[in-house]
Amino acid sequence: MQTTQQRVSEWECNKVEPSLYNIMRMLRILDVPFEELTEGIIEN
């Protein structure tokens, strides 16, 4: 993902939030649709 292990650790420990750009990159890498990520969060 072209990020550091330290940054990933900060995301995992809830010290900082990943940017939308990084969230979208993670979804693409993991082949997860955005709708699946937000399921139950966004009301229709």
Q: Where are the domains of the chain?
A: 5-38
pLDDT at 41 over 90: no
pTM of the model: 0.73
pLDDT digits (tens, 9 = 90+) for 10-28: 999 999 999 999 999 999 9
For 32, counting Cβ atoms within 10 Å of its Cβ (0-12 exposed, 13-18 middle, 19+ buried), the class is exposed
pLDDT of residue 43: 65
Contact status, residue 22 vs residue 1, Cβ threshold 8 Å? yes
